Amino acid sequence: MSDVATPHPAPKLVGASISRVDARRKVTGQADYTADYHFARQAWAVAVKSTIAKGRIIALDTAAAEKSPGVVAVYTWKNRPKIYPPLKETSGFMVAEKLAPLGDETIHYYGQDIAFVVAETYEQAREAAGLVRPTYAAEPAVARFSEPKREAPGKIYGEKPHLEKKAPGTASVTDAWEASPARIDATYITPMIHHQPMEPHAAIAKWHTGRLTFYAPVQWMYGARNFLAAGLAVPAEDVRVISHFVGGAFGCKGSSWMFMLVIAAAARDLDRPVKFVMERENMFTSVGHRPRTSQRVQLGADAAGKLQAMRHFTESSASEAGLFVEAAGHRATGVMYGSPNIEIDHQIYKLSVSAPTFMRAPGESPGVHALETAMDELAVALKMDPVQLRLVNMTANHPMSGLPFSSRHLDECYRVAGEKFGWARRAAAPRATREGDWWVGWGMASASYAAHRSNAQARVRLLADGTAEVACASHDLGTGTYTIMTQTAADELGLPLEKVSATLGDSTLPEAPFSGGSQSAGSILPAVQMAARSVLTKLKTLAAADAKSPLAGLAADDLEAAEGGLRAKSNPSRRVAFAAIFEKSGEGALEATEKTEPAAETKDKREQPSYSPKTTAYQSYGAFFVEVHVHRLTGETRVKRVVTAMDIGQPLNLKTARSQILGGAVFGIGAALTEHSLFDENSGAWITQDLGTYHVPVNADVPEIDVTFVGPPDFKFNSVGARGIGEIGNTGISAAIGNAIYHATGVRVRELPFTTEKILGGLSHEGAA
Amino acid sequence: MESSSPPSPEIGTDRRGFIRQASGVVAVAMLPHSLRARAESAPPAPAPSASGLIPIMLRVNGQDHVCEIEARTTLLDTLRDRLHLPGTKKGCDHGTCGACTVHVDGHRVLSCLTLAAMATGAEITTIEGLAAGEKLHPVQQAFVDCDGFQCGFCTPGQIMSAVACIREGHAHADDEIREWMSGNICRCAAYPNIVDAVKAARDRSA
């Protein structure tokens, strides 16, 4: 068996700029998303939502709905179809909500499902849903952010809520902070925001002889399968989840949601397929949000800017009905800069609100925003260039654990992006540049995201006609998974891209982990490589055993796959096409399924042997440089230019990798300038429940974005050298925009989003004219 | 689109303001003239059958389709659920996202805000009807080449808008493309690549 650590043949496709292999399906309308399926005898379900946030239903009149044309069933807590809701997370699946669906008459949040109406057509189901008449005994909702008691959560992504590191002889981090010559003490607020993928959640449940086929856009095929099996009391092998295309997810399709169980149980109860497509307004009440955070950051530095003390204390909102806790300081101040004294604390408060869930760069996104804004404030206090301040605080080791980083090139990110941006020409003082009615400002910030890996399996099959198939139960959320699986398998097998097809999004395929935490590529591709190499090993054995083959008698180590065949490394003119080997041997196809287990520290030495999270820290870094224009009279802010450099190891496909960073950066532009889910602190209701009032960025909001990748492949992390890229683009950019607004106007806004009224208040204070 | 007030950056009308202004009248105002005339001159409505359904004929991608629908059924739901053309996507169902954009008599229209019964007799083009057999439309090819999408869900609407944007003459400058493509939300945010794709297709078809 060859050693994966020395890749052969040299990758040709991995790392290149390649159009997506599923592009044609996407531009012709042939890509099959969940709601595109239509089955004979299918009925439609529509949910009825609570319009209070806390209390009880004292009467629920379903008579009119039941009599409405086309209605098949109206399910409430009184006649819930048989389910056994799993209300806790296990290693096999994730849930965000700990409430049984249609559990009883109690209301815990605004938008809670109180009934499901099933009818012959969508129009009929929707009409009947409007005829369900609840009578409530409302109670005061816990809706004011200041009201609930603060409590320590059990864990923050596996860490203790309170972390502390002190230099020898230091009594407390606060003492060290107070003793620092330059100090910053500021509180930053990030609001509740929503994922809003363009594809709403959907589900189609179809039973046949006691087995369920469930179509749904999910980020974890096996998780959804295991959740449904537990909730429906059927064996996991009797549940098949299919999700060939996911129309965006950003975290909200990661946990299994309770409505999925109701749809599956209703289909079982009615003995016909049931289809459900969530209305856009319910995407604001029912599939999670990013919690609100309030983060107090205290930074202390010496006169040269060297950090002496960092304190990052966070309070984040949570749900009485939910499980998820948003991190902040743990994932920002805990990973970014060297400091002898660091203290991080996290508390939560529970509201009468629907369950939150992880959203693109959970923890890092709000945490890095606060830290990187505070660093800018510290640079101002020190009269120091913001890049220089960061450079004097670089660290080779993880700030909390002290472990060495596998590969860290954050300083290179500043240098490359800063030069492209022209940072050296920046005026030090704010309010230095105006173009007409627009103040011009330049700001920067660091980006960071942890690198994760999980167990993964993949199957590779080489066919006698010289084509190959690569498969695993992973997901393509727009992330390019189909394409990078194809590239990786093609490189290993020495085949052109068009000879390889990838299959994913089906829970009957070999197990792949949750597509979240930027872990999919780094987890599944080593398994794809191993499976491909196992297929080649079988093929080499066949070839070498054929006495008439040009390769007869050669050692397996001397054989490599290239140009659709095997050849001798020592003499490439000795070669045989795959088809010829198959023909001689009579085999129709060769197949191998392999598994990588990074948590077991790769006992299997065929896989990259050096992955070792107990002795090495794995983290990606980046830098954003941004130019904004702020209107002197209206406070309107336009992002005019973004330059970023990212240290993420090996970019697997330059085209799709760049797109991932663009997407993350624009997510950050939205968080910085417009996105704010308004939550009524009196009633506990969501106010912004459509895309006309919840403003995600549109084309006119987005300038050119210049993306460069720096740093070498990270082969200490895995055998493809890639650390994952989906989330890091959404860290740091909101701080860079805020820092640029400060540079433009002299106004420091400490609460997201940076809307006109917040900037204008400062501008008039500063004397805008 | 052209029959409604264009978003005019000169007077600072942003997209949201535009949507707010337009949404009240959008069901009629965003229809092409031919359709609007049909709607306003109120041709005799087909009589509902005993089931409450009305028979309609829709001409989609050059083919006539006859079906029976409830009068309240949108063009979007008719295309997807009755004619089984699911390429056109439902992103919001109330005219704020653009995922459902189709062409009616050559003009871009939000099919979620159009009743199917108002589109009888018109030439409807969906994403399924854009390519000439195996050969992609230049805008489709440009989206492939420029990676003008990620998840692909908004893509049919983006492409139908882009084809119209070029045809309308709203694709001269980058900022003009950004403005006239701002009725189509892409949460994956392929926006810079979409601008590149529109330019590439514009130059190819020029």
Task: Report whether pLDDT(A160) > 80.
Answer: yes
For the residues A235-256, what does the mean pLDDT come to?
97
Domain count, chain B: 2
More confident residue, B18 or A452: A452
Q: Which domain holds residue B96?
A: 9-38+51-129
Assess if residue B43 is contained within a domain: no
Last residue of a domain, one of A544, A572, A600: A600
- Residue identified by tokens 């299997």 is A604
The token pair at A126 is 């929707």
Assess if residue A88 is contained within a domain: no
Q: Do A699 and B187 touch (CB under 8 A)?
A: no
Residues in chain A: 769
CA atoms within 13 A on the CB side of B152: 28
Task: Render pLDDT for A699-726 as a digit per residue (tens, 0 to 9).
Answer: 999 999 999 999 999 999 999 999 999 9
CATH number at B116 reads 3.10.20.30
**Are residues B125 and B157 part of one domain?**
no
Assess if residue B89 is contained within a domain: yes
Structure confidence at residue A662 (pLDDT): 98
Assess if residue A199 is contained within a domain: no
Task: Render pLDDT for A333-369 as a digit per residue (tens, 0 to 9).
Answer: 999 999 999 999 999 999 999 999 999 999 999 999 9
Task: Report whether pLDDT(A574) > 50.
Answer: yes
- Residue A424 identity: A
Please check whether residue A486 is in contact with residue A502, taking contact to mean a CB–CB distance below 8 angstroms. yes
Q: Which domain holds residue A528?
A: 23-31+454-600
Interface test with B, best of A28, A707, A725 (most B CBs within 10 A): A28
**Are residues A629 and A533 part of one domain?**
no
**CA dist., res. A169 & res. A173, Å (int):** 11
Task: Report whether pLDDT(B2) > 80.
Answer: no
Ranking A186-195, A650-659, B46-55, B119-128 by mean pLDDT, the lowest is: B46-55
| Shortest CA gap A761–chain B (Å) | 21
Structure confidence at residue B32 (pLDDT): 53
Task: Work out the percent of chain B whose per-residue pLDDT is above 90.
Answer: 73
**CA dist., res. A480 & res. A524, Å (int):** 13
Structure confidence at residue B52 (pLDDT): 81
User: Annotated catalytic residue: which of A727, A751, A757, A766?
Assistant: A727
Q: Do A27 and B155 touch (CB under 8 A)?
A: yes
For the residues B5-9, what does the mean pLDDT come to?
36
CATH number at B172 reads 1.10.150.120
Mean pLDDT over the full length of chain A:
95
Assign A1 a pLDDT band (cuts: 50, 70, 90).
very low
**Are residues A706 and A742 part of one domain?**
yes
Q: Do A33 and B89 touch (CB under 8 A)?
A: yes
Please check whether residue A448 is in contact with residue A455, taking contact to mean a CB–CB distance below 8 angstroms. no
Last residue of a domain, one of A578, A600, A622: A600
Assess if residue A742 is contained within a domain: yes
Structure confidence at residue A5 (pLDDT): 37
Q: Quick one: which of B147, B195, B156 has its CA closest to A659?
A: B147
Mean pLDDT over the full length of chain B:
84
**Are residues A471 and A441 part of one domain?**
no
Assess if residue A45 is contained within a domain: no
Assess if residue B106 is contained within a domain: yes
Classify residue A169 as exposed, middle or buried by CB count within 10 Å of its CB (0-12, 13-18, 19+): exposed
Task: Report whether pLDDT(A253) > 60.
Answer: yes
Task: Render pLDDT for B18-58 as a digit per residue (tens, 0 to 9).
Answer: 344 444 334 444 455 555 444 444 445 556 666 789 999 99
- Cα Dmax for chain B: 54
Last residue of a domain, one of B90, B106, B129: B129
**Are residues B144 and B122 part of one domain?**
no
Assess if residue B70 is contained within a domain: yes
Please check whether residue A55 is in contact with residue A135, taking contact to mean a CB–CB distance below 8 angstroms. no
**Are residues A709 and A686 part of one domain?**
yes
Find chain B residues with C-beta within 8 A of A692's C-beta.
16, 19-20, 23, 94, 96
Please check whether residue A149 is in contact with residue A77, taking contact to mean a CB–CB distance below 8 angstroms. no
Please check whether residue A495 is in contact with residue A564, taking contact to mean a CB–CB distance below 8 angstroms. yes
Assess if residue A65 is contained within a domain: no
Ranking A256-265, A377-386, A555-564, A625-634 by mean pLDDT, the lowest is: A555-564
Q: Quick one: which of B91, A264, B71, A427 has its CA closest to B80?
A: B91
Task: Report whether pLDDT(A74) > 70.
Answer: yes
**Are residues B119 and B152 part of one domain?**
no
Assess if residue B24 is contained within a domain: yes
Structure confidence at residue B9 (pLDDT): 35
Task: Report whether pLDDT(A587) > 90.
Answer: no
Assess if residue B4 is contained within a domain: no
**Are residues A761 and A634 part of one domain?**
yes
Last residue of a domain, one of B65, B97, B129: B129
Domain count, chain A: 2
**Are residues B31 and B79 part of one domain?**
yes
Assess if residue A536 is contained within a domain: yes
More confident residue, A609 or B73: B73
**Are residues A592 and A558 part of one domain?**
yes
**Parallel, antiparallel, or unpaired for β B54-60 and B123-125?**
parallel
Last residue of a domain, one of B77, B111, B129: B129
For residue A572, what is the DSSP state?
A: T
**Are residues B113 and B84 part of one domain?**
yes
Torsion, Cα B81 B86 B89 B90, to 10 degrees, reads: 20
Structure confidence at residue A351 (pLDDT): 98
Task: Render pLDDT for A116-143 as a digit per residue (tens, 0 to 9).
Answer: 999 999 999 999 999 999 999 999 999 9
Task: Work out the percent of chain A whose per-residue pLDDT is above 90.
Answer: 91
Number of separate helices (H) and strands (E) present in chain A: 15, 27
Beta bridge partners of B86: none
For the residues A77-83, what does the mean pLDDT come to?
96
Task: Work out the percent of chain A whose per-residue pLDDT is above 70.
Answer: 97
**Parallel, antiparallel, or unpaired for β A307-319 and A637-647?**
unpaired
For the residues A646-668, what does the mean pLDDT come to?
98
| Shortest CA gap A635–chain B (Å) | 14
**Are residues A555 and A509 part of one domain?**
yes
Find chain A residues with C-beta within 8 A of B88's C-beta.
29
Chain B interface includes A754 (CB < 8 A): no
CB atoms within 10 A of CB A342: 24
Last residue of a domain, one of A568, A600, A632: A600
Assess if residue A686 is contained within a domain: yes
**A291: three-class secondary structure by DSSP:** coil
**CA dist., res. A94 & res. A516, Å (int):** 12
A89 is catalytic: no
Task: Report whether pLDDT(B10) > 60.
Answer: no
**Are residues A470 and A444 part of one domain?**
no
Assign B11 a pLDDT band (cuts: 50, 70, 90).
very low
**Are residues A659 and A544 part of one domain?**
no
**CA dist., res. A669 & res. A369, Å (int):** 12
CATH number at A584 reads 3.30.365.10
- Residue identified by tokens 């002290």 is A402
**Are residues B110 and B14 part of one domain?**
yes
**Are residues A658 and A594 part of one domain?**
no
Task: Render pLDDT for B173-188 as a digit per residue (tens, 0 to 9).
Answer: 999 999 999 999 999 9
Assess if residue B1 is contained within a domain: no
**CA dist., res. A330 & res. A351, Å (int):** 23
**Are residues A544 and A519 part of one domain?**
yes
Task: Render pLDDT for B56-69 as a digit per residue (tens, 0 to 9).
Answer: 999 999 999 999 99
Assess if residue B94 is contained within a domain: yes
Chain B interface includes A662 (CB < 8 A): yes
Structure confidence at residue A547 (pLDDT): 86
Task: Report whether pLDDT(A767) > 90.
Answer: no
Find chain B residues with C-beta within 8 A of A671's C-beta.
none
The token pair at A88 is 């806790």
Structure confidence at residue A546 (pLDDT): 86
For the residues A231-249, what does the mean pLDDT come to?
97
Structure confidence at residue B33 (pLDDT): 53
**Are residues A762 and A643 part of one domain?**
yes
Assess if residue A548 is contained within a domain: yes
